[in-house]
Amino acid sequence: MYRFSYAEILDESATLNRERERLALDQAVNLLTLAAKAEPGSREVLAAVAYLQKLWGFFISDLADANNELPRELRGTLASLGLWVIQECDRLISGTGGDIPMLIDVNRAIRDGLK
């Protein structure tokens, strides 16, 4: 019988969580890429916006959790970035702007940082 140490299990869990976050951001980039080719207010834009708002809402909630082990300053920076993403999504929904290429770049950069 093979026994894992508690530290090994925690390391594996963190790695698995980062991979899940990376895949979720991959999906966000894919949806945004489709949205960038579509008309404002289209189904593709609305699908990308809905996904991003849920994803970044989850990230912000996790970053605010006292048990999150990321450094406090990094958590604050990422939460601020998440709020910007949500605001850009709101602009896309209202038709008052929103920068899909910038959303793609930001989400791709965060995703790539998780590797």
Q: Judge whether 36 and 101 are in contact, CB under 8 Å.
A: yes
User: 57-63 — which CB contacts under 8 Å span 24+ positions?
Assistant: 57/82, 57/86, 59/21
Q: In this structure, how many other beta carbons lie within 10 angstroms of the beta carbon of residue 48?
A: 27
Asked if the model's pLDDT at residue 15 lies above 90, the reply is no
Task: Band the pLDDT of 1: cuts 50, 70, 90.
Answer: very low
Give the model confidence (pLDDT) of 26-77 as tens digits. Answer: 999 999 999 999 999 999 999 999 999 999 999 999 999 999 989 999 999 9
Give the model confidence (pLDDT) of 71-95 as tens digits. Answer: 999 999 999 999 999 999 999 999 8
In a domain, 77, yes or no: yes
Rounded to 5 degrees, what angle do the CA atoms 36, 51, 68 make?
A: 125
Q: In this structure, how many other beta carbons lie within 10 angstroms of the beta carbon of residue 111?
A: 18
In a domain, 1, yes or no: no
Q: Which domain holds residue 61?
A: 17-113
In a domain, 35, yes or no: yes
In a domain, 62, yes or no: yes
Q: Judge whether 35 and 66 are in contact, CB under 8 Å.
A: no
Measured in degrees and rounded to the nearest 5, phi and psi for residue 95 equal 80, 15
In a domain, 36, yes or no: yes
Return left, alpha or beta for 93; rule: phi > 0 is left, psi -120 to 50 is alpha, else beta. alpha
In a domain, 10, yes or no: no
Report the predicted TM-score, pTM, of the whole model to 2 decimal places.
Answer: 0.85
If one counts the domains in the chain, the total is 1
Average pLDDT over residues 85-110: 95
Asked if the model's pLDDT at residue 10 lies above 50, the reply is no
In a domain, 4, yes or no: no
